[in-house]
Amino acid sequence: MDQFRNIGIVGRMGSVKVVESLRQLKQYLTANNYHVIIEEDTSTMIPGHGLQVASKKLLGEICDLVIVVGGDGSLLGAARELAKSKIPILGVNRGRLGFLTDISPSDLEERLARVLEGEYIEESRFLLDGHVERNGQPLGYGSALNDVVLHPGKSTRMIGFDLYIDGHFVYSQRSDGLIVATPTGSTAYSLSAGGPIMHPKLDAVVLVPMFPHTLSSRPIVVDGKSEIKLVIGETNETYPQVSFDGQMNIACAPGDIIRITKKPFKIRLIHPTDHNFYATCRDKLGWASEIAAS
């Protein structure tokens, strides 16, 4: 069982509720003799904290555990930074849905105490790498825990592109774009676009067309080790964008190539022992918990 002695804290900026949880965390952890390191931007939210301050990268080098306070978006950002360091991440939900940040502020200390005593379950989630090339030269790079999305940006025109999987031509398509999602991202943007819900343990990627011009276009689930290549059509009148978890964008041009593969590093997520994926779906997606009376 891991010994969590050096604990990093990352919080979403600009939220009064996050500040409340940050102060509660700091008080609880320091009172119980844990060494607490606060992320440099987060530290500005609680002046006079008296804690060690570090960048996200340094947190990955010196911490045994990182606690993220915020919504799923906050955890996505931390995960991309911390994946290479293989540091376990625990989420405290101060957002809306909370598929990844599953500790409630109302019982924060009780839940956290059990985790720190070794009562937790751990799972790993893979990320995607995306490389954009122009005329054979690298143009940009990004990584994503949820999804890599080709989209029109501010334009309202359709995008023409070719799809290849493991070097095999799949189709040419005109649509508003394509969502390439991990199982983690299958309950995010992909779900809104009609993609399937995928269990987090699956080693698979789903490709979901966005408003395709042909009604026969449907989501495709492929092996997680597949290489996905998108070629932007030369005749496009629009300059689309590629986004990574909706938090980073690369502007593309006709003829550009986007290559998407699985990242070699996985993130380690920590959950309370009663965590259950299907229960989370029932709670967050409003699934019925019993058969309605006739």
Catalytic positions: 72
**Is 256 within any annotated ligand binding site?**
no
Q: Which residues contact 160 (CB under 8 A, 6 or more apart)?
A: 172, 173, 174, 232, 233, 235, 236
Q: Is 72 annotated as a binding residue?
A: yes
Tell me the two tokens of residue 95: 């957002």
**Which residues, 6+ apart, have CB-to-CB distance to 117 below 8 Å?**
none
Q: Residue 191, annotated ligand binder?
A: yes
Judge whether 274 is annotated as a binding position.
no
Q: Is 187 annotated as a binding residue?
A: yes
> Which residue's entry shows tokens 């309202």?
156
147 carries a ligand binding annotation? yes
Token readout for 106 is 């109302």
Q: Please name which of 237, 215, 228, 226 lies closest in space to residue 163, comparing C-alpha atoms.
A: 228
Q: Is 189 annotated as a binding residue?
A: yes
124 is in an annotated binding site: no
Structural tokens at position 196: 């399937």
The CA-CA-CA angle for residues 138, 140, 143, to 5°, reads 125
CB distance 158 to 175 below 8 Å = yes
Q: Is 239 annotated as a binding residue?
A: no
Consult the annotation and say whether 156 binds a ligand: no
CB atoms within 10 A of CB 41: 14
Is residue 233 within 8 Å of residue 254, measured between CB atoms?
A: yes
Flag whether 259 is marked binding: no
- Residues annotated as binding site for NAD(+)? 72-73, 146-147, 157, 174, 176, 187-192, 247
